[in-house]
Structure 1
Amino acid sequence: MRTSRPAAPLIVIVCALVAGTVFAQTEPVEQTTIPVPLVVNGRRVGEIPILIVEADFTERVSIVPVALVGLLPELAPDTAAQPLLASTDWTALDAFDAAGLSVAFDPEEILVRVRVPAQALRPVELPLSGRTAPVPRGIELPQAEVSAIANLEGWARYSYEQSRFDYRVTPDVALNLYGAAIEVKGGLRSAVPIGFLDHARLTWDLPELHLRLQAGDLRYRTTRLERVTRITGVSFTTDESLGHAMVGQGGVTLPIIVPDRGTVLVTRNGSQVVRRTLDPGNYLLSALPLVQGINEITVTWPGPDGPTTVDLLIPHDTELVRPGRLDAGLAVGVANRDLLDPLATAAVTYGVAQPLTIGVRFGSAFLRTEFDAGVSAVIATQAGAFRIASDVGIGPDDRLAVDVPIGYRLVDSRSDRYRSIGATAGFGYTKPPAPAAQTLRLYASGYVGFAFADGFSLTPRLSYSMSSTGDADGAERATTHDVRFVTGLRRSVRGGASLSANVGLAYREELNFLASVSYSASFPDIRQNLFLQQDLTAGKASVFWSRYAGDRPRDVDWTASAQIPVDRSDLFTVGAQVGYRDPFVRGSLSHGLSGVLEDDEYRNATSLTVASALLFADGAFALSTPVTDSFVLVAGDPDSAVPVGLVRPTGYRSVALGDRPLVFGGVRSYSPFQIEAEPLEIVLGAEERERLYYVLPSYRSGTLVRIAIERNVYVGGVLLDRAERPVGFALGAWERTDDPTRSGEFFTDGEGYFEVYSLAPGSYRLRVAAGPGALNGMSYEFTIPPGAPEYVDLGNLIPTGPAARPANGGQE
């Protein structure tokens, strides 16, 4: 927001300069001190006082170097300008030349221009890819201190042949208290036991530490211990998504210097992937946009001597994590809610370097004396990516299980024909308690994929496995071999359709022929998909036809499927489902038929599912479809001076705001949820951010947003110094106390009167920079109440240190 300034104050400054010049004809030296705007590298950053010394019809302009501190970009610690910027004395502008800075006074526009060369700036890291939290704009709104989510789903099925009725009613409740989420999910069912508890847990996040603490039935379960389907206890996990830091890929960095505003271009394997305009500066490009396989990266930017280009060849794998990133977890509790089966499990994954990531996993069931451990590593090279994931399990009675797979993958999209190569090989060994037989497994598989420019692809695959079971001494050992060779052909055509065929041979005690043909098509205009497949080996034909819901508030989707065998003795299935969705409820009705034609046996079943949710935040209730993470309720404020017509949240279309709160249940926790309000009438002088709001919700939380748009007003008053004398001909600055970025400038006339325009209700601070008869550092404060008239008379303002008060109480 900027103040609309009349032309008179500019005339005051010009007259001051002219008066100084005329006075210099009778006096040998004349000094004038005025505040002027400061422009750094083409961008206005604030104001700075200047000293104009006029002698012998010449002018010399000086500034205090320390006044530049905080207004300049961050300089490198070894720059020659650092000692000079510590000076508190008036210094001529040409003294900065020796320090590597260009400082000049523009008498036409009455401002000081500073040019900081890019090489003198501290390097700034600039991520080019990865998941970054979007920069929120507008007014941040806190989430509700107490919010609740109550999902309710009902399911029923009737089987006609058995005349059997099954049902399940599942409430899922989440209560968020000051950022801690309590979740309980259970219900009733027709099976025994009739009541069940799916999970109950407490989640407490520390976003600033990227740490999540949980107690109860844990979501964290990294273990391969036998018979462990769930862990009940406590866990500590690190999760970068809890904060808003960069989650990039790859650790390759590239330092560049941009002397003038220009564009950085990044191409990958011949295609442009990044185009970004940068201000002059010293940058360290990081998180280059990498894909699976070989990345041929070309970076071009405007260098000091013209366009500069650097070529990089970087291997990458999707399982690599950012160098320095540490994902760790620890869980301690009992297995399957059995208090007599305590266990502990832990896992750590660490990005060692750009091409290397390692991981370690460990688990132990104490009373069962069972242990499980694993080590994994991923390394990417220009010859491809290699992965190993070893696992060892040790149990009582000399039980032992070992599995060591080694994988290889290469993807090269630089060629028109060559696409990818993949291979996996390994062995496994299992030794159960005696007298059970031991098992040794060897396996290997590989594929080569070719892609052609006309949409045709060819992928031959070969796999082999051997399983040998018997005693340790080799007696009565049985060995089986399984070999498969399949070639896949695929032809893609315009419009989203493709035709695929798989042909091959399989051997396991006997040789078999494998063949299947499939066709798929997508029709986005009518939101439908079609899939057809004929499996010649199994003698079955499959059909899948669906219509998916669109983005309308109320819509219908349906799915029809069938699997018909050629042999009448095989099982056939036919099914259909219709779904309905509106802002408050979601439901589906389905029917399935299966049987064997030869035996004249059939099974019919009809199912119905209905789900809804009740939400609560800050005293407001709303109905919604089930919410799995967080939600936001948007309502109008009855005290709003301007009625709100539409709201446009992140990822949604504009929605009319009515009497009931709008519900947005697909909000992701720890990701800014932006809301823009559109008033029914034009608000003159209002900034865009006055209609922008955002929320940073925690896990399973709710927020009530009451939108109020105020009419902007303009204020006027008289500034007095501490002796209650008018502060005349002064340049000042105003800022909003709760948002210092909302600021501007103002001038006072000879009697200290000033005006500031286009201010929204709220608290403000005035600061006088300099001026005849004024003292530096004087500040004043005033408040514009909600519903204020178009003009607010502040009366006489007297500074009282950091705060201020009206001398006469102010008049509105």
Structure 2
Amino acid sequence: MINFKRSLLFLSFLLMPLDGAILEVIYAQTPAFNFNQSIETDLEIYINEQRIGDFKVEFLGNELTALKDRRLKKILRRLLKEDVYQKIEPLSFPYLIEEFPFPIVYDDEQLRIIIKLQYDELQPDFYNIDLDPSIKYEGQALNPADLSGSLGWNAEKSFSDQYFGGDYFTTSYNTFINFKGYLLESQGFYQEGRGLGEEGWFRGNTRLTKDFEDDRIRFQLGDTSTRNLGFMTARNIGGLSLSREFSINPYERPFPQGEREFTLLSRSRVRTFVNGTLIKDEFLPAGNYKLSRLPLIDGINFVKLEIENAFGEKSIQTFDIPTSTQILKEGVFDFHFSAGRSYNDNNLERSYNGNNLVSLYGQYGFSSTYTGASYSMFEEDLSLGGLINGISTTWGNFFYEVAYSNQDRYGSGIGNALTWQLQNSNYQGVYRVSSSVRIEDYMNSFTRQYSTDLNPLDYSYQVNLSSPLSTFMSVSGGASVAYFQDRSLGKRTSYNISSNIRMMNSLSMSIFGSRVKEANQPTNVALSMFLTWNFDTSQHYANYFHDFENKRSRLSVTRDNNNQMYRPRYNVNLENGDQDRRLETRVNIPTPMADIAIKGIAVKDDAYDEKTGIQKQGVISLGSALLFAANFKEDRTEFSYAISRSNSGSFAVFNASDDIEDDQILIRSTSPYADTETPLIGSLSLPNLVDYQYREVQIDPTLLDEGTSLKKEKFILHSGYKSGHLIPIESDGEFGIKGKLIYQNEALSFKLIRIGKSISFTDLEGHFYISGVGGTSYILEVDGIGSTELNLDASKKYKGILDLGTITLQRD
């Protein structure tokens, strides 16, 4: 249908200078071909002005007859109010337009379909469909492959003077294999060179991971860790863990997002501001509404509604909405359990000779403002347990913690802590304060973790405060002091202050100062400045750093490449100290099969042997990965591999069909440049996808042979935890034909022609081009003249554009 319409537009353009009667004759002859055939295609569907996705639809001629995509019902169930959805529920598949309970309009200019609904028939989630891709991409995302793996490595070779420890060689690996959601992963490295210490291999973290996605639970066996909560600190262990993992669904946040209700008495324009930023601008009918899914920050959020009714009258409603990422939504349960033995890395060996350790906690949102938690940890002869109560109010977020510990060697003790957090987002300027205060009190021999040399604290205070002094300057500071129960040990104090100054849109400066005094230890003072300059018209920037205490400065200039293939990224560093000067240059070059980096360093050190002069080092590094993915079907196994750039997470491998595997293919997604392109060896790949996030990927057919088209050019990916996708790229088996038609020794001008289902026209000189040719019958039909069988082999697969030259027709 769409090709026919465009063909007629093309014909109209050709005939503009000609007599209108000619056009009438051609249109009059059109019924010789059957244009009222049923055609299926993918089109965008909108609800009012909100796009909800691409769906398969059916046309009969120019008339939209049916919606032929089962996903539509699932999405509408989430977007429509229950009583409204019940009007759709009885519909059988396919969903005929004449039976659909709501008006449907086909916009033939924008090539889209619009379902007309009243706003009071829609759920609140409708306004946030772009914030929740699980609605937008319902049923479209491809599942990860049955089996996938990444064998990543990075090698670095140095050519160095003795000042740098001499020549060295290092290589590291980052590998994983995922079989239907069961993930085995391992990291490690090898080093060789006198300047690096011990030579040999080191095995890092190795573990088995299984995610239960529906429940957002993660199980790990191997090198894992406990978690922080309250007085309980995290530890690395070799063992097992079972925990709630909210990152499995990053689009559903576990903490409150500020639900508030408001009423409209007439149809109104509503503009929603959060902390001074416009979030939504929409027209809503009269009714009761609930603010939800707002992008709030920790602290007190100032939400403002500007409401303009149908008569032009304006009103403002304001809400102070408190929230905290430490406060869970009502009914949300978070937990963690881990057990194992702590380990230590020494030289090139990981030793699991630490203490046995068990750790667990549970946290529950009793309401949108109150969360309670409890935790326990057992390590050798140490027991630790505690409770946390958190409440979010318009006066700030308050947390009270109490914990009990007992260690056989030192006895028991109790720790108490009170925390107050405040972020006044509803004020501007100096009054827009962000602050936190924490007071800790310890009784007897309370300790957070196992110790063989316990010096228990008595109490401690921590204060942090930040505020914008103006629109271009902010300042923040903090202080803490802790007293030991044994007063002879003195006290532990620290102070810090920082300021950020934006001198221009592209120029900013940060200043940081700190003073730390550990008990009976020398005072450590630091003062530094950091200057950043972003060049407005390019992807270039410069940084300047100065350490006043150590009298050291560094200038860094970077020319970025915006991740463009084969385009180098340059970085130059100049460093100056009391006794040495240092120049470092680095060039990074991304290619489809590897990331290449070259680094050069020159140092003049006055404290080193002056006779040696300038010390030099050259380093070249190469990072790559072997990716593979397979799907096991009943009748076959699909498999493909790729050699790609460095990869540390999920990925996709694109398996091109035989007829286009030698063509150059580009992949585009989030970058203005191609993310990757066909490599010399293996298949096309897209590494480093973000786990559990949706990603739109577009195949760019620009470099395919002219006339070649693909069955599918756009894919929606939804990765698991370090998973791989196997995506088929297939041509549609169709090709193009061009030539020139002669009849009775004259060119056939402006004739309607057809080969199978494909339709086109000849131009003034009888030339034609017709695309979308396929099948096994190649009969060329010319309206009003006749037909002829083309000299093509029906058993052969053609691609691109075939030039048949001059074709002479005889009247049937």
Into which bin does the TM-score normalised by the smaller protein fall?
0.5 to 0.7
State the match for 1:52 in structure 2.
none
Give, in whole Å, the separation in 2 of the partners of 1:499 and 1:649: 34
Confirm or deny that 1:311 pairs with 2:318. yes
Give, in whole Å, the separation in 1 of the partners of 2:451 and 2:648: 47
Which residue, out of 321, 337, 342, partners 1:335?
342
Change (3 A) 1:189 1:441: farther
State the match for 2:786 in structure 1.
none
CA shift, 1:450, in A, is: 3.8
Residue correspondence of structure 1 range 450-465 to structure 2 within 5 A: 450-459=467-476, 461=477, 463-465=479-481
State the match for 2:654 in structure 1.
634
Give, in whole Å, the separation in 1 of the partners of 2:218 and 2:774: 41
CA shift, 1:354, in A, is: 3.0
State the match for 2:594 in structure 1.
585
Structure number with greater CO (CA < 8 Å, separation at least 6) is: 1
Change (3 A) 1:547 1:359: farther
- What code does the residue aligned with 1:672 have? Y
State the match for 1:397 in structure 2.
409
Change (3 A) 1:162 1:493: closer
SS of residue paired to 1:350: strand
Residue correspondence of structure 1 range 169-180 to structure 2 within 5 A: 169-180=171-182
CA shift, 1:695, in A, is: 2.3
CA shift, 1:288, in A, is: 2.0
Structure with higher Rg: it is 1
Change (3 A) 1:104 1:440: closer
Residue correspondence of structure 1 range 67-78 to structure 2 within 5 A: none
Structure 1 contact 563–574 (Cα < 8 Å) conserved: yes
State the match for 1:132 in structure 2.
132
CA shift, 1:557, in A, is: 3.2
- What code does the residue aligned with 1:345 have? S
SS of residue paired to 2:303: strand
Give, in whole Å, the separation in 1 of the partners of 2:174 and 2:689: 17
Residue correspondence of structure 1 range 62-211 to structure 2 within 5 A: 121=121, 124-126=124-126, 128=128, 132-133=132-133, 135-136=136-137, 140-155=141-156, 160-161=162-163, 166-190=168-192, 192=198, 194-211=200-217
Structure 1 contact 221–230 (Cα < 8 Å) conserved: no
State the match for 1:747 in structure 2.
none
State the match for 1:622 in structure 2.
642
Structure 1 contact 266–297 (Cα < 8 Å) conserved: yes
State the match for 2:801 in structure 1.
none
Give, in whole Å, the separation in 2 of the partners of 1:235 and 1:327: 14
SS of residue paired to 2:214: helix
State the match for 1:345 in structure 2.
359
SS of residue paired to 1:553: coil
Which residue, out of 418, 422, 431, partners 1:410?
422
Confirm or deny that 1:422 pairs with 2:435. yes
Gapped runs of 5+ residues in structure 2?
A: 9-26, 29-45, 58-72, 91-100, 106-113, 344-350, 631-638, 736-755, 760-771, 781-812
TM-score (norm 2): 0.63
- What code does the residue aligned with 2:651 have? F
State the match for 1:355 in structure 2.
369
State the match for 1:440 in structure 2.
457
Give, in whole Å, the separation in 2 of the partners of 1:311 and 1:226: 39
CA shift, 1:202, in A, is: 1.4
State the match for 1:777 in structure 2.
none
| Coordinate RMSD, CA, aligned | 5.8
Change (3 A) 1:453 1:575: same
CA shift, 1:600, in A, is: 8.2
State the match for 1:773 in structure 2.
none
Which has the larger share of strand? 1
CA shift, 1:631, in A, is: 0.9
Change (3 A) 1:559 1:359: farther
Which residue, out of 565, 575, 590, partners 1:553?
565
SS of residue paired to 1:417: helix
Structure 1 contact 138–693 (Cα < 8 Å) conserved: no
Structure 1 contact 127–286 (Cα < 8 Å) conserved: no
Structure 1 contact 497–522 (Cα < 8 Å) conserved: yes
Give, in whole Å, the separation in 2 of the partners of 1:635 and 1:682: 15
Give, in whole Å, the separation in 1 of the partners of 2:143 and 2:75: 31
Give, in whole Å, the separation in 2 of the partners of 1:637 and 1:261: 55
Change (3 A) 1:301 1:512: closer
Which residue, out of 657, 661, 666, partners 2:688?
666
Confirm or deny that 1:576 pairs with 2:577. no
State the match for 1:809 in structure 2.
none
Q: Alignment length, in residue pairs?
A: 641
Which residue, out of 479, 483, 493, partners 2:490?
479
Residue correspondence of structure 1 range 517-536 to structure 2 within 5 A: 519-523=531-535, 525=537, 527-536=539-548
Give, in whole Å, the separation in 1 of the partners of 2:74 and 2:145: 36
State the match for 1:497 in structure 2.
507
1:559-593 CA distance string (max 9 Å, x none): 5253524xx7xxx6846251423223333536485
Confirm or deny that 1:372 pairs with 2:384. yes
Structure 1 contact 258–304 (Cα < 8 Å) conserved: no
Change (3 A) 1:296 1:648: same
Structure 2 contact 369–392 (Cα < 8 Å) conserved: yes
Structure 2 contact 271–281 (Cα < 8 Å) conserved: yes
Question: Which of 368-377 and 265-274 deviates more?
Answer: 368-377
Give, in whole Å, the separation in 2 of the partners of 1:295 and 1:449: 16
Give, in whole Å, the separation in 1 of the partners of 2:499 and 2:218: 46
Residue identity over aligned pairs, in percent, reads 16
Question: Which of 575-584 and 126-135 deviates more?
Answer: 126-135
Structure 1 contact 145–177 (Cα < 8 Å) conserved: yes
CA shift, 1:143, in A, is: 2.9
Give, in whole Å, the separation in 2 of the partners of 1:234 and 1:393: 24
TM-score (norm 1): 0.63
Structure 1 contact 137–693 (Cα < 8 Å) conserved: no
- What code does the residue aligned with 2:625 have? A
SS of residue paired to 2:648: coil
Give, in whole Å, the separation in 1 of the partners of 2:262 and 2:551: 60
Structure 1 contact 129–249 (Cα < 8 Å) conserved: no
- What code does the residue aligned with 1:151 have? G
Residue correspondence of structure 1 range 675-714 to structure 2 within 5 A: 675-679=697-701, 690-710=712-732
Change (3 A) 1:437 1:410: closer
Change (3 A) 1:688 1:76: farther
State the match for 1:775 in structure 2.
none
Give, in whole Å, the separation in 2 of the partners of 1:225 and 1:669: 31
Give, in whole Å, the separation in 2 of the partners of 1:227 and 1:412: 30
Gapped runs of 5+ residues in structure 1?
A: 9-38, 48-68, 87-101, 107-112, 714-755, 760-783, 793-812
Change (3 A) 1:274 1:164: same
Structure 2 contact 412–446 (Cα < 8 Å) conserved: yes
